[in-house]
Each structure stands twice: as C-alpha cells, then as structure tokens.
A and B are shown apart, each in its own frame.
Chain A
Amino acid sequence: MKRRFPLSIFNFQFFAFVKKEFFHIWRDKRTMFILLGMPVVQIVIFGYALTNEVKNANIAILDNSKDAATASLTTQLDASRYFALEKNIVTYKQIEEEFRKGKIKLAIVFPQHFGEDLQHFNKAQVQIIADAADPNTANQLANYATAIISDYQDRVTNDRRLPYTIDTEMRMLYNPQLKGAFNFVPGVMAMVLLLVCTMMTAITIVKEKEMGTMEVMLVSPMRPQMVVIAKAVPYLLLSTINITSILLLSVFALELPINGSLALLGFESILFTLVSLSLGLLISARAASQQTAMFISLVALFLPTIMLSGFMFPVENMPLPLRIISNIVPAKWYYSIVKSVMIKGLGIAGVWKETLILAGMMTFFLTMAIKRFKIRLA
C-alpha cells in the first residue's frame, strides 16, 4: 500500500501542511524577527520611553518674599521627582518669556510677605502658572505642585491644629504607584496578538491565492477547512511565545505583578488569539491581494483597537455612538480581562461575561470564515 489513510485530523497530511507553514515563517527571517521582536520592542518603548507620567518638568520660581517658608518650599519642589528647578527669576515679565522659549512647564509665584502672612494670619497665597498648551500635562503638574504645597502646610500647621480639618486619605487600589505599565501592558498584549494572528494569517492565506498554490490545494484531497486550520497552527504557537515574552518582560523588567491566576490569563490569551485568527481567516476569505488583506487588517482592526479598546483613551468619556461601537472591538474585552486578572487578581467569576463575549465572537467569525471558504468552492 502506498497510500496512508487519514485516521484523525492530526494525520500525516495535516502535519505536512503545518511543517510547510513553519518553513515559510522560518525562511522569511525578517518577518519572523519582526513578529518575535515587536512585543519586546513595544514593551521597552512603552515602559521606558513613552509614558504619560511627568518626571523632572522644568519649573521657574519667582520669589518675592525670600523668607524661610519660601526657601523651604522651593527646596521641596526641587527635590520632588516631578520637578526640576530651571531658574529663579526676579520679575513677573520673565515668566512669560521663559514659557515662550519653552524652557519651563510651570511657574510658581510667591507674593511679598508670604512667610509672615502664613505665620500671623494662618493664610497665604501662591500663584501657580502652567503652560496649558498641553492641557493634560498642565493639569497634572499643577496638581503635583498643589500637593507638595499642601503637604508643607500640613507640616507647619501640625503643632497648631485648626479646630476643624478634614483629612482626606487617598488609596490607589491595585496600582499604588500609579505606574503607566499597568495600563499599557494589557494593551500591548492585545495589539501584538491581533497583529500576529489576524494580519499574518490573512496575509499568508491571500499569498497562496496570489501564488496559485491555493488552487492546487483545493484540487487536492485536502479539505479546505483543514487548510484553514493548518494555516492557523503556527501562528497560535508564535502567539504563545509572544505572550510569554511579554509577561516575562512585564514581571521582571517592569516589575508588574501577576495578581490573578496565570493559567486563567493563559487561557484567556489563547481565547483572544483564536478570535484574532478567526478574524484573519475571515479577512483572507474576502481579500484578493496581500495589500488588501493588510489594509483591511490595519484599518478595520488596528485603529479601533488602539482608539476604542480603552487602552489609549478611556471609553467611558466617549460619545454614546463610539461607546456602542467599542463593544464590537474584541480587544476591548480582552484588555478588560487582562486588567482584571493580572492587576486586580480576579478569578473566572469576575471575567465570565467578557470570556463569553469573546467565545461568541470566535464562533461567529470562524463560522463566517468557513462558510466563505465553502462558497468559494461551489
């Protein structure tokens, strides 16, 4: 007998196909390095370079009082990690000049008799001037400065307590140091998985169509569904490697905790990978050229993922239509799951709804994709 008959889906034919897929990936070294290196680069860039935390913003201080209190405050502002004292200036006019030159982000003005007023009347004024050309930073900096000043006030008034004070105590749950990494690591995971699975699967299948090899596959006894599944296997593996490298980097380089179950995180990531793969298959069933496949993946998937998953911009603040649209973005649900499991330490009880939604999406996309493949055969 020269023929070997299929016993299950994991037969020789299937392995021959998967092996070939690995050759494709392996031979295209450049793409392979991009696929494996991208998550690392993204984590490093987001972790160390791109951050919306403000550090060492240049400030100027106009001290019209020059007493012990202002000197002490100046030292404290300069010592904080948020600010660096650019220079002491002497006239009010200079402030604007410095802002214009872009040398400073914030100016603090102490009026005359600041220390005296504070001591005798228990009340003194400070002016904080911020460069609101960048409103978010301006706000943040003004808040930091206010916090440092009120901290100072608390200490001087400690001995002579006011009759009524309300002490507010803030606790930042789950992320006490307000690290940006807590936000972007889940986002990067969603983005990378989507890129590897959706775009690459779509491109490789469309490539076979362009090369004419898909036709040969369809004439062969290999079932079209099998072609589709075999195509997806290597990318599933590649995604597993990527998830692992992202998590390792997050834990060891960015010192992020994994508070929830690692198994659950892995399971959810594989689920999201499957959603992305199904989407890639669906795109490949429609697109006729590699460029089209790439374009659809980018426009229909990446932009919504970046804009509407809550990773860059909070979805809650968006207008209603966008909030509704955001619900059909798979990354939104995965992003929410990763945050819940990884940062908040929730179990399956906390994310079952999102999990079901992802499972539903996967079933829907996969059914559509396989249907499209069958129609093409008729």
Chain B
Amino acid sequence: MSNDKVITATNLTKKFGDFTAVDHISFDVHKGEIFGFLGANGAGKTTAMRMLCGLSLPTSGEATVAGFDVYKENEKIKKSIGYMSQKFSLYEDLTVKENMEFYGGIYHMTDKFIKEKTAFILDHLHLQKEANTLVRSLPLGWKQKLAFSVAIFHEPGIVFLDEPTGGVDPVTRREFWNMIYEGADKGITVFVTTHYMDEAEYCNRVSIMVDGRIEALDTPSQLKQTYDASTMDEVFLMLARKATRVEM
C-alpha cells in the first residue's frame, strides 16, 4: 500500500437486514486530495461515510482510514479525522470562543494550543469582534465557516464534510470552497458529499453512487468526456436516472 493513500476501501459493504445500503464499493483517496462523494438521496453515501468515520461497522469488505483499520482501530481513526455535518454542529448557546475551547478540549488539546489556535482562527476569519458572541446570533455563512474551522481545529489529516453547504447562498458557498482549498493546500485530505453539481466541478476527483454502488469515479473533466457531457450536472443526471431504488 502506498503511503500516499489515506483512505482505502475494498468491496466495502453494509447491509441492514435484506437491504444492501452500500454494495461492494472500492476506491482510494490520496493525501491532500479533495474527493467528492456524490449520489442522490438514498444512494448510500451517508452510510459509506459513517463506516469510514467509525460510526458504523461494515458488514463485509475492507477499509482503512489514515492507515487504521475500520474494524479494529476506530478509536485511532477518530483521533485522526475531523467531521462536519450539514447541521454545522456548533452549540448555539455557546460563544464562538467557548465552542472552540470545547472542541479543543474533547480532542485533548492543551490550553496553550487552544488559545493560540482560537486567536489564529478568529484572526483568519476576521471574527475577533465576535469571539464572545453566541453562535446563535451569527449569520449562517459565518456559522458554516466556523464549523469547518472547528472540524479541523485539532489539525487532523483528513476531514469528512457531509453536505456542508446545505441551505447556503452561492456567494457564501464559493467562499466556503476557498477555505476547503486552503485546507487541502496545507495537506488536509477532504472527503466531501454534496448535492450541488457546480461544487462537484471543484473537486479533484468525484465518485458517483447509484443504488449503493459506485457507478463512476474520475476527475470531473474526464467524466464529462467519458459521458460526452458539457457539465457535471448532465453526467450526474445520466447516471442517477439508472437508479431503481425509491428515494428514502
């Protein structure tokens, strides 16, 4: 196995009773890559992501994250990854600073590290004035950027983003993607699920899941060429129409 691969999956499968949510998927993600994980609702992308995050045990198949086995070493995986969901997962009744202190705390960071990192992030996001503001009263776009900063607060090698831009306007989405690029430039591997096809174009490589299987996996430009389409949207529709599963 090459050191370059930070996530590997081989025939990864998850069954719930008779229902196969994830059906023998195989892929690798490289260090520093922005990996788009696409699929319609119910295609199985959330289930696949939960297995990689150590939230759910696979039924069969192999997978490693940051070099650790998802069956046996999920405690080690948890220390090496960051996670952000579409709900942003900040505590609304805590201030910006308190949220950072809390997340730093649960990742075993020292007081000194937390202090320096908090100052750095606030400075970087131009949020110094809002340090003691309750998250509740911040605009959605700020919350989202803050949530991303919190997800990589402990400087993980990999960050999983589960539909991170849901409900946000295009300008803010664009700014958010700039943050993702910055993270990737620093060597953080980004594993992102999304519904927005324009975002798919921003990814280095994209996989498209249909009915629990990966139907396509390549760079956006290669995919467009293969399917003779002008946009990722067309590629996605072509593949997603094959779906037989009813939306969950």
Contacts and interface: CB of A to CB of B under 8 A. Distances in A.
A associates with B: yes
Interface of A: 1-6, 11-13, 15-17, 19-20, 23-24, 27-28, 211-213, 215-222, 377-378
B94 interface: yes
B78 A13 contact: no
Interface in B97-150: 98, 101-110, 113, 134
Nearest to B98: A23
Given A20-B98, A219-B54, A221-B75, A13 B89 contact: no
A6 B108 contact: yes
A17 B91 CA distance: 12
A219 B88 contact: no
Given A20-B102, A215-B83, A378-B57, 12 more contacts: A13-B105, A24-B93, A24-B94, A211-B87, A212-B86, A219-B53, A219-B54, A219-B55, A219-B78, A219-B83, A220-B106, A222-B106
B85 interface: yes
A213 B75 CA distance: 18
Interface in B199-227: none
Nearest to B83: A219
A23 B93 CA distance: 8
Contact of B55 (A16, A27, A218): A218
18 contacts: A1-B110, A2-B110, A12-B108, A13-B106, A13-B108, A17-B106, A19-B105, A24-B93, A24-B94, A27-B94, A212-B85, A212-B87, A219-B54, A219-B81, A219-B83, A221-B79, A221-B107, A221-B108
Contact of A3 (B85, B103, B109): B109
B56 interface: yes
Contact of A213 (B53, B56, B81, B91): B91
B109 A2 contact: yes
Contacts of B101: 16
Nearest to A220: B106
A211 B98 CA distance: 17
A211 B55 CA distance: 17
Contact of A215 (B85, B91, B94): B85
A378 B56 contact: yes
A216 B55 contact: no
Interface in B143-190: 160
A137 B135 CA distance: 57
Nearest to B162: A215
Contacts of A221: 75, 78-79, 106-108
Contact of B89 (A11, A15, A17, A211): A211
A215 B83 CA distance: 9
B104 to A, nearest CB: 8
A222 to B, nearest CB: 5
Interface in B41-68: 53-57
A23 B106 contact: no
B147 to A, nearest CB: 9
A212 B90 CA distance: 9
A216 to B, nearest CB: 4
Contacts of B108: 3-6, 11-13, 221
B91 A15 contact: no
Contacts of A13: 105-108
B114 to A, nearest CB: 9
A221 B153 CA distance: 14
A28 B85 CA distance: 25
B29 to A, nearest CB: 17
A217 B102 CA distance: 11
Contacts of A11: 108
A131 to B, nearest CB: 54
Nearest to A212: B87
A2 B111 CA distance: 9
Contacts of A4: 108-110
Nearest to A26: B93
A5 B87 CA distance: 29
A79 to B, nearest CB: 59
A229 to B, nearest CB: 14
A217 B106 contact: yes
A132 B87 CA distance: 61
A222 B75 CA distance: 9
B55 A213 contact: no
Contacts of B113: 2
Contacts of B87: 211-213
A12 B105 contact: yes
B83 A216 contact: yes
B88 A16 contact: no
A218 to B, nearest CB: 6
Contacts of A216: 83-85, 89
A27 B136 CA distance: 12
The 8 closest A-B pairs by CB, nearest first: A16-B105, A212-B87, A219-B83, A27-B93, A216-B89, A2-B113, A221-B78, A222-B106
A24 to B, nearest CB: 6
Given A5-B108, A12-B105, A20-B102, A28 B55 contact: no
Contacts of A212: 85-89
Nearest to B109: A2
Nearest to B84: A216
Contacts of A6: 108
Given A212-B87, A215-B85, A216-B89, A20 B110 contact: no
A39 to B, nearest CB: 24
B39 to A, nearest CB: 19
B12 to A, nearest CB: 16
A297 B112 CA distance: 42
A60 to B, nearest CB: 61
